[in-house]
């Protein structure tokens, strides 16, 4: 496969294609745990969330483009860690790469690109959040040297 891929900031013109990727990610997450049941307005919510990265100072989105098509997306929030060093953390909230581009190093490149961008904004740590039961994500992130830092437990309130 020709791997002529450009990683760049999300633009307004990318919203539709990028939103479709994040919806795929959310659907995948919902298969792992009933606490990730998708709401009826998932597309609308994802579009608004992605669009917010174009204007919010503490949120960024990058895309991977191949021959004019968006094949991957990563989103990160800058988190203040007022009690700990380093004081700022880049937390990846979304990462999705189309199946045909997986196992090519693209996911790692997207993480490295967002890390480099956020480093320039004062972040000295990168983290990622994903559903605990997503073993594919767990294997990927530990494979690139990340480890568990914090746990969040939950249950549905009846």
Distances (CA, A) of 123 to 26, 74, 79, 120, 155: 27, 16, 9, 7, 32
Which of 66, 95, 53, 48 has its CA nearest to residue 4?
A: 66
Q: Give me the pLDDT at residue 9, please.
A: 97
Q: Give me the pLDDT at residue 95, please.
A: 98
Answering whether pTM is above 0.85, one says yes
Q: What is the mean pLDDT of residues 40-63?
A: 96
Asked if residue 1 has pLDDT above 70, the reply is: no
CATH code, 57:
3.40.630.30
The verdict on residue 38 lying in a domain is: yes
The verdict on residue 107 lying in a domain is: yes
Per-residue pLDDT of 66-99, as tens digits, reads: 999 999 999 999 999 999 999 999 999 999 999 9
The verdict on residue 9 lying in a domain is: yes
79 three-class SS: strand
The structural domain count of the chain equals 1
Which of 89, 101, 77, 76 has its CA nearest to residue 24?
A: 101
Q: Give me the pLDDT at residue 2, please.
A: 53
Q: Give me the pLDDT at residue 3, please.
A: 73
What's the residue count for the chain? 158
> DSSP letters along 99-142, please?
GGGTTTTHHHHHHHHHHHHHHTTT---EEE---TT-HHHHHHHH
Kindly report the average pLDDT of the chain as a whole number. 95
Q: Give me the pLDDT at residue 32, please.
A: 84
The verdict on residue 151 lying in a domain is: no
The verdict on residue 152 lying in a domain is: no
The verdict on residue 154 lying in a domain is: no
CB 60, CB 115: distance < 8 Å: no
Q: Give me the pLDDT at residue 154, please.
A: 93
The verdict on residue 149 lying in a domain is: no
Beta-carbon contacts of 5 under 8 Å, excluding residues fewer than 6 positions away, are: 64, 65, 66, 71, 72, 101, 106, 109
The verdict on residue 29 lying in a domain is: yes
Q: Domain span at residue 37?
A: 5-143
């Amino acid at each position: 496969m020709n791997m002529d891929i450009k990683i760049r900031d999300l633009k307004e013109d990318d919203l539709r294609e990028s939103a479709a990727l994040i919806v795929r990610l959310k659907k995948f997450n919902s298969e792992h745990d009933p606490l990730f049941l998708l709401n009826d307005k998932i597309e609308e919510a994802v579009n608004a969330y992605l669009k917010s990265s174009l204007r919010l100072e503490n949120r960024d989105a990058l895309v991977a483009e191949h021959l004019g098509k968006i094949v991957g997306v990563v989103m990160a929030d800058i988190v203040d860690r007022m009690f700990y060093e380093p004081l700022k953390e880049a937390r990846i909230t979304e990462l999705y790469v189309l199946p045909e581009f997986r196992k090519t190093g693209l996911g790692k490149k997207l993480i490295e690109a967002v890390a480099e961008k956020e480093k320039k904004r004062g972040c000295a740590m990168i983290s990622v959040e994903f559903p605990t039961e997503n073993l594919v994500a767990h294997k990927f992130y530990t494979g690139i040297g990340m480890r568990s830092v914090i746990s969040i437990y939950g249950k549905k309130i009846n």
